[in-house]
Chain A
Amino acid sequence: MRHSLALTVNGQDHALELDTRTTLLDALREHLHLTGAKKGCDHGQCGACTVIVEGRRINSCLTLAVMHDGDAITTIEGLGAPGDLHPMQAAFIKHDGYQCGYCTPGQICSAVAALDEIRADMPSHVSPDLDAPATFSGEEIRERMSGNLCRCGAYSNIVDAITDAAEERV
């Protein structure tokens, strides 16, 4: 069964007609040919498919494209491009925050949104005092990024990259 929908992806409007079963991830990759977001586990367990929808990071594999009719979506392609990198992308390169690179687009989208969540005063499991405003720390980053797995184990460099980008933005 097919449904028509509209998505605004990285500022560009798209009209699509898709099988209702199409996940947002498959719509981006197979129909809009934005192959930055990756399909890892396809069950919300690895975070490689992370994109930013209406300002929030989500697993694009665990949601239907039709449910996002009218939504604005940012993928890794929309954050920055060669020559005009997002500070988080530049920080990942500077700190070598990857090996094979498969999880990297998801890591970067997740990291950008995670810093926004701290700025929006959203607490985390490791926040010591829920009454205090959310603050940045290495421990906070490790906890907030736990939804993004890296099978190469580049975690320490990923934390360095995010820390660097966070310092640049404050």
Chain B
Amino acid sequence: MRTFDYERATSPAAAAARVAGTPGARFIAGGTNLLDLMKLEIETPAHLVDISRLAGLDRIEETPEGGLRIGALVRNSDLAADRRVRRDYAVLARALLAGASGQLRNKATTAGNLLQRTRCPYFYDGNQPCNKRMAGSGCAAIGGFSRNHAVVGASEVCIATHPSDMAVAMRLLDAIVETVRADGSTHAIPVATLLTLPGDTPHVEHGLEPGELITAVTLPPPIGGTHVYRKVRDRSSYAFALIAVGMVVQEDGSGRVALGGVAPRPWRVEDADALLPRGARATVEALLTGAKTTSENAFKLPLVERTLVSALAEVRP
């Protein structure tokens, strides 16, 4: 690991200003992704601003509109155990519980989970070309081992997926990220647009400004319905998704659906939601329009459809 300076943040605005004004500075929250990458020298921050003890950001509060405001530092395990989340936003609790392990969920934070980086094996291997790790160096996954790579939303220079389970549920629930910038101003960004598609710049993964700190994620009022999160993986626990389906279906058959494991960000196509009453085939066709597969990840297309068939059977017995 490269050497770095360390300090504990004193307030959200001060933390934002500190990271914006210090070359090579980064926030660290749970550290479960950043530290992992620092050990491999894929991330090499010169300065860490530890936000993990910032007061007040570890609370889950009800909003005046009837939704929930989840502090950026709420642990994944606490969020999944919250009675309101279990009752009103079950797809979020299920997605969280399908991710990582008990130990990791005790550390992983809401904001850190959203901003976790890809698990593309070439991104992790400093000896391989990777446009995300080193802009312009090439992409070893294209033409290489690409079993777990994206089938939609990717580009000619990067086909990595975003690995988060939680983010799929947040996208499905139309969550909004609240931030504070170095100048003290506050902003609201839908999770739908927080994470960007790779295009020509796969090293850019979100639209946050340098030093822009996520302070909370807000959920709109509960939408009712039956909540399902189906994660398909190589072993039944403690593995990243090959594909995942998050879904909320109402009694009249209408609903919404988002996918994980198929794209550089949680994948939702609002037009596809309207097709849910017509069944899995029509919905998946709309969700995965223009899909581009490799010989190794083509299995994801039928797998998404079959998983949706099975999830729909569960909610409409």
Which residues of A in the span 145-164 have a Cβ within 8 Å of any Cβ on B? 145-148
Contact between B81 and A122, CB atoms less than 8 A apart: yes
Contact between A64 and B104, CB atoms less than 8 A apart: no
B4, B87, B106 interface centre (most CB from chain A within 10 Å): B106
**Residue from B1, B28, B102 in contact with A57 in the complex, judged by beta carbons closer than 8 Å:** B102
Chain A residues positioned under 8 Å from B106 (CB to CB): 56-58
Contact between B104 and A130, CB atoms less than 8 A apart: no
Q: Is A14 an interface residue (CB 8 A)?
A: no
Chain B residues positioned under 8 Å from A169 (CB to CB): none
Q: What are the interface flags for B81-102 relative to A under an 8 Å C-beta threshold, 1 for contact and 0 otherwise?
A: 1000011001001100110111
Chain A residues positioned under 8 Å from B237 (CB to CB): 125, 142-143, 146
A63, A114, A130 interface centre (most CB from chain B within 10 Å): A130
Q: Is A105 an interface residue (CB 8 A)?
A: no
Contact between A1 and B6, CB atoms less than 8 A apart: yes
Which residues of A in the span 45-90 have a Cβ within 8 Å of any Cβ on B? 47, 50, 56-59, 62-64, 66-67
Q: Is B3 an interface residue (CB 8 A)?
A: yes
Contact between A1 and B107, CB atoms less than 8 A apart: no
Chain B residues positioned under 8 Å from A1 (CB to CB): 3-6
Chain B residues positioned under 8 Å from A147 (CB to CB): 100-104, 238
Q: Is B80 an interface residue (CB 8 A)?
A: yes
Q: What distance in Å separates the Cβ of A110 from its nearest Cβ neighbour in chain B?
A: 7
Given contacts A1-B6, A66-B50, 4 further A-B contacts (CB under 8 A): A21-B3, A64-B48, A123-B81, A147-B100
Contact between B6 and A58, CB atoms less than 8 A apart: no
B39, B87, B101, B238 interface centre (most CB from chain A within 10 Å): B101
In angstroms, Cα B93 to Cα A59, docked, is: 22
Taking beta carbons and an 8 Å cutoff, which residues of B are in contact with A?
A: 1, 3-6, 28, 30-32, 35-36, 39, 48, 50, 52, 77, 80-81, 86-87, 90, 93-94, 97-98, 100-104, 106-107, 237-238
Chain B residues positioned under 8 Å from A168 (CB to CB): none
Chain B residues positioned under 8 Å from A170 (CB to CB): none
Taking beta carbons and an 8 Å cutoff, which residues of A are in contact with B?
A: 1, 3, 19-21, 23, 42-44, 47, 50, 56-59, 62-64, 66-67, 110, 113-114, 117, 120-125, 127, 130-131, 142-148
**Residue from B5, B31, B87 in contact with A67 in the complex, judged by beta carbons closer than 8 Å:** B31
**Residue from A50, A113, A123 in contact with B93 in the complex, judged by beta carbons closer than 8 Å:** A123
A21, A110, A117 interface centre (most CB from chain B within 10 Å): A21
Chain A residues positioned under 8 Å from B94 (CB to CB): 125, 130
In angstroms, Cα B50 to Cα A63, docked, is: 11
**Residue from B3, B28, B87, B107 in contact with A130 in the complex, judged by beta carbons closer than 8 Å:** B87
Contact between A43 and B81, CB atoms less than 8 A apart: no
Chain A residues positioned under 8 Å from B107 (CB to CB): 58-59, 62-63
Chain A residues positioned under 8 Å from B3 (CB to CB): 1, 19-21
In angstroms, Cα B36 to Cα A130, docked, is: 32
A50, A59, A66 interface centre (most CB from chain B within 10 Å): A59
Contact between A20 and B4, CB atoms less than 8 A apart: yes
Chain A residues positioned under 8 Å from B39 (CB to CB): 42-43
Closest 7 CB pairs of A and B: A147-B101, A146-B237, A130-B86, A146-B238, A122-B81, A20-B6, A125-B97
